[in-house]
Each structure stands twice: as structure tokens, then as C-alpha cells.
Amino acid sequence: MAQSDPRYVIEGATAEQQQAVDLLAKQFLLTDERLAQVIKEFRRRMEEGLAADGRVLKMIPSYVTRRPTGTETGSYFAIDLGGTNLRVLRVTLDGKGGVATEYQKFVLSEEAKSRTLFDFIAQCVETFLDDHNIRPTGQQPVHMGLTFSYPVQQTSINSGTLVQWTKGLNVPGCVGRDVVRLLQDALLRLGLRVKV
């Protein structure tokens, strides 16, 4: 009888039980060669999905051009829209990997989910800026990133067309439109110098 891999030895198991565990574990082990094949096939499917709609693996291109290095400094603002909550936050980076975060969480009302979403978001941004005594002065607006957790066909780093609503939201007149533009318009209606 072959020796069991020590990672899968079950203390107190009978020989028959251990044999069953060994057989099961063996089915999940990948050789380096098989892992390379899986990676190659996954990459092929991703590239296929990026090339055209209707592929096995659906892919939407990202317009993020670089990743953070940890040496960034300053304050960065963001809006995070999920299914039931909205967060407005400021993240301050010290350039040495240190992060300080301030945020406010707002519960999406039924009216926001069905009619007034972008005006609601703009009001939450205004509340956050007022509560944290942050109002842009001079010509420079506050720049805010947006995490929009709904299917969007992104066309640039700051624009994307809503494909469909999910997670219980159904705001009329938004599907097929640029969600960043809808939010920017709502911010402008409040007179907020915020650039998404």
C-alpha cells in the first residue's frame, strides 16, 4: 500500500477511510505541467472574451493603466455604490504604505433605488464634504473615484454605459446611458465642484 501524503492524513481514520481521503485528494492535485495547461487555457478564454461578446468567459476591459506602488501620498476621495449601501470616503496615503480612512455609510432608500439614485448620491457626497469640512476653493474641484457595482460597458477611465440594473435597483431612464455623466449632472445640480 502506498504511503499517504502527510498533508491529508486523518488522525484516527481506518485504513479504508484514509484510502478514500487519499483518492479524493489525488483528484485535486495538479502537476506543474497540468497547471501550466490550465493557465494557458484560462488566458486564451480571457483574451477571447475581451475580443468579442458572447464568449464562454465574459470580459469587460479595464481602463486602469497602472497599479499603486505604495509610495503615493495625499488624500483620495471615492464613492462606493453597492446593493443596499452607499459609502463616501476619503483615503489618505502617507507614501510608506500607511493608510487612514474616513467614511460615511448611507442606506439606499426605496426611492433612491427606483427613482432618484444619482441625486441621492450627490446629496450624500454633499453631506460627507460638509461633515468633514471639505469644500473646494479656487478653481480645483474635488476629484472622486466611483465604484459602481452594476454591469457597465466602460468606454474610458471615467465613463461607462449601464448595461442593466441588478441587486434590486431599477431607476428608469438610465440603461444605455453613461452613469458617470448622470452622477456628474446630479453633482452640478447641487453646485458641487466635484469631478468624477
Strand order in the sheet with 194-195: 99-107, 85-94, 73-81, 142-148, 194-195
The cell numbers describing 113, all together, are 433605488
The cell numbers describing 165, all together, are 440594473
Mean pLDDT within 22-51: 91
Q: Which of 11-15, 57-61, 88-92, 156-160 is predicted least confidently? A: 57-61
CA distance 101 to 60: 29
Residue pair 190/126 in contact by the 8 Å Cβ criterion: yes
pLDDT averaged over every residue in the chain: 91
Residue pair 129/191 in contact by the 8 Å Cβ criterion: no
CA 35 to each of CA 31, 39, 132: distance values in angstroms, whole numbers, following the listed order: 6, 6, 50
Query: Which residue type, as a one-letter code, is found at position 113?
Result: K
At 29 the pLDDT is 85
Q: pLDDT of 97-133, one tens digit each?
A: 899 999 999 999 999 999 999 999 999 999 999 999 9
- H-helix segments, the chain: 15-28, 32-51, 110-111, 117-131, 179-189
- Over pLDDT 90: what percentage of the chain? 67
pTM over 0.75: no
At 72 the pLDDT is 93
Mean pLDDT within 11-31: 90
**CA nearest to 78, candidates 124, 131, 130, 138:** 124
pLDDT above 60 (res 1):
no
Helix %, strand %, coil % for the chain, to 5? 35, 25, 40
Mean pLDDT within 61-85: 89
Q: pLDDT of 139-153, one tens digit each?
A: 889 999 999 989 898
pLDDT band at 135 (very low <50, low <70, confident <90, very high): confident
What is the torsion angle, in degrees rounded to the nearest 10, for the CA atoms of residue 148, residue 152, residue 155 and residue 159?
-40
